[in-house]
Amino acid sequence: MTRGYIIPIGGAEEKHNEPHVLRRFVKLCGGRHARIAVLPTASELRETGQRYEQIFSEIGVKEARSLPFAERRDAERAEWIEWLEGADGVFMTGGNQLRLSARLGGTRVHEILKQRNASGVHIAGTSAGAAVLSEHMIAYGDEGGSVRADMVTLAPGLGLTNLCIVDQHFRQRDRIGRLLSALSFNPFVVGVGLDEDTAAFIGPDDLLEVHGAGAATIIDPADVSHTTMEHVKRHEPVSILGLRVHVLAQGASFHLRTREARASANVHGHHS
């Protein structure tokens, strides 16, 4: 069994003009033959699911269907469960990641997502849908660059991977402080900060490849020698020594196990 891709997207992905990220997801799922399940659970807007149905239809799939699991009891709806079990790809929309974890965590849907991903189905999420893919997720936090002890709140995510923690709208909302704070609690995981319209395609071999218009900021705490997180009081700044940071644009990659970063194959770009 080969695990499917896990694809967090940094939010505000280009949906109509040049939806490169979504096209790549569709291609992985089988292109014109793909059946894509859309989970709009994180969103409060009723039209979110239908909008993505339309977007995936425009890109060209066999069928895209929104499964609006809104309450925990919806996770038992036989028809929706059956559709989810037959999908080639699953896409989770943006909104509020705590709504996703609170409504789906521990339900039949959660189990199916884990089983299907383990057996080769690709699962993507944008914004809130990206945050919830990992075992630990950033529930909410403050913007800003410096690290403080109280600037981030973590919650359990859906746990498709335990190797990284994702933050989204990264440069646009200046979230490096809260991602670093999350890593100071748990220096085991790799921090992945995704700009808008930018995705990390995490393959079955745990190689993360960057695609999209922005960059991924990879923060590797493997060599952290010291953090003051356990000593400081709330609101106080935190010291972290020995972090390693990579900024990866289109085509660059980072291996979540070996921690090796590579620039894209076409290093010289298109400048004349």
DSSP letter at 116 equals H
Which one of 43, 134, 136, 196 is the catalytic residue? 196
Alpha helices in 8-107 (DSSP H): 20-29, 48-59, 78-85, 97-104
The H or E element that residue 198 is part of is strand 198-202
169 is catalytic: yes
Which one of 127, 134, 184, 253 is the catalytic residue? 127
Q: List b or e across 209-230, with b for residues whose CB sees 16 or more CB atoms inside 10 angstroms.
A: bbbbbbbbbbbbbeebeebebe
Report the C-alpha gap between 21 and 28 in whole angstroms.
Answer: 11
Which one of 122, 169, 211, 246 is the catalytic residue? 169
* Residue 240, φ and ψ in degrees, nearest 5: -135, 125
Is 168 within 8 Å of 10 (Cβ atoms)?
Answer: yes
127 is catalytic: yes
71 is catalytic: no
Q: Pick from 68, 30, 31, 34: which is nearest to 48 by CA?
A: 68
Question: In a 10 Å sphere around its CB, with 0-12 CB exposed, 13-18 middle and 19+ buried, how is residue 261 labelled?
Answer: middle
Residues carrying an active site annotation: 127, 169, 196
